[in-house]
Structure 1
Amino acid sequence: MPEKTIPDATETELGAEDAKLVTLARGARARVGAAEGASVRDQDGRTYAAATVALPSLQVTALQLAVASAVAAGAQSLEAAAVATAAETLDGAGHAAVRDLGAGAPIYVADLDGTLRGTVTE
């Protein structure tokens, strides 16, 4: 999957529910020292957080795992997602996973310190 360019942030502050997604993503990453952390919010407002899994036999991006957790819990659509990363681009596989359940869901991309870098909406 091709990586996705992160557009520059046009907003400086997120609403409370979206800021919570960034906080959850940062916490998931920090808890295990992973490369990335991610979180998603489903159609009922439930949130799911995950970190990158990088094992010799299994590679899963944080966004893929957060989406998979939501689906496993019965989510049918996503309202929004967030990823905390140092990467310059959004991974294509995670982006595709979010789009499978939320065609118009914003994906907030934040630095590891929580600073919003941009929002992917396509």
Structure 2
Amino acid sequence: MSIELEPEDAKLVTLARAARARTNTRQGAAVRDLDGRTYAAATVWLESLSVNALDLAVAMAVSSGAKGLEAAAVVGPEDRVIGLDAMRDLGGEGLPVYAAEPDGTVRTVKHT
């Protein structure tokens, strides 16, 4: 059973899927700030740097001047969502984080 999303939340899933596909990595993520701007990122695994996709998307929002977040999506083959602490730091408690399969099917909604 997939979860139906509002268009703005479905856009987050699409952006997260695209970030994941571009880099052929395990997870992609996207966040939306309070102004409606979106930031997408993929997991980075380098010898000297490892950053999960959601943390990187949040960092991109912060470095672009975002004052808060509304929602996020994480796309990957596992149900595990890493980076909820960073989401909570910038956006507060109770924000939805949509966990989706690589095909875009949302399997669950986590909250910060």
**What's the TM-score, normalizing by structure 2?**
0.94
Corresponding residue number in structure 2 for 1:4: none
Report how far residue 75 of structure 1 moved. 0.3
Corresponding residue number in structure 1 for 2:110: 120
State the Cα RMSD in Å: 1.2
Amino-acid identity (%): 59
Report how far residue 34 of structure 1 moved. 1.0
Task: With a CA cutoff of 8 Å and minimum separation of 6, indicate the structure with the bigger relative contact order.
Answer: 1
Unaligned runs of 5+ in 2: none
Instruction: Please identify runs of 4+ aligned residues in structure 1 that moved more than 2 A.
Output: none
Q: How does 1:27-38 map to 2 (within 5 A)?
A: 27-38=18-29
Task: Give the whole-Å Cα distance in 1 for the aligned partners of 2:12 and 2:88.
Answer: 17
Report how far residue 102 of structure 1 moved. 1.5
> What code does the residue aligned with 1:63 have?
L
> What code does the residue aligned with 1:45 have?
G
Corresponding residue number in structure 1 for 2:32: 41
Unaligned runs of 5+ in 1: 1-8
Q: Indicate yes or no: 2:97 matched with 1:107.
A: yes
Secondary structure of the 2:15 match is: helix
Aligned match for 1:77, one of 68, 73, 84: 68
CA displacement, residues 11-30 of structure 1 (integer Å, 9 cap, x when unaligned): 72100000000000000000
**What's the TM-score, normalizing by structure 1?**
0.87
> What code does the residue aligned with 2:12 have?
L
